[in-house]
Amino acid sequence: QYFVLDEHIGKLSRALASKPQLQELNPLANVSVEEGKAEDLAEDRVKGFDVVCVTGASWSTQLRLDDICRKNGIAFFAADSHGLFASFFVDLKSHSYSVDTKQKADAATQKSTSEAGILEFPSLREALGAGW
């Protein structure tokens, strides 16, 4: 956890310790922290977010939160680590993006093009059901 400093240990949760640095990454975003256990987070509260990030939650909690997020069009990120092993999951549902490219026709002429694309993300439930 890059944003948790030695002076935070035992005094602040990882979420609270990370909040100022996360806010600094995008000053236009409103970063908030939910205290308490992820499994106690009510669906009505989750609906108020654009993005939900959860760490250290059980599989059943991650599944429930991703189901809520997917149903309400909310981006979902889940991460966990266990010693040398870690997992990270992203559910952006259907994500649109564009790629801008510049091509030189000759030394004096440059042509720009933009190509749109869409990525379809599976739900956590679908990803866990895949035959890896």
Query: What percentage of the chain carries pLDDT values higher than 70?
Result: 97
Tokens 């939650």 belong to residue:
57
Per-residue exposure over 51-89, b if at least 16 CB sit within 10 Å of its own CB, e if not: ebebbebeeebbbbbbbbbbeeebbbbbebeeeeeeeeb
| pLDDT number for residue 107 | 66
| pLDDT number for residue 22 | 86
Which residue numbers in the chain have pLDDT < 70?
A: 1, 107
Query: What percentage of the chain carries pLDDT values higher than 90?
Result: 48
| pLDDT number for residue 94 | 92
Q: Which token pair is 86? A: 């870690």
Instruction: Give per-residue pLDDT as tens, 96-125.
Output: 999 888 877 776 777 888 889 999 999 999
Distance CA 95, CA 117 (A): 8
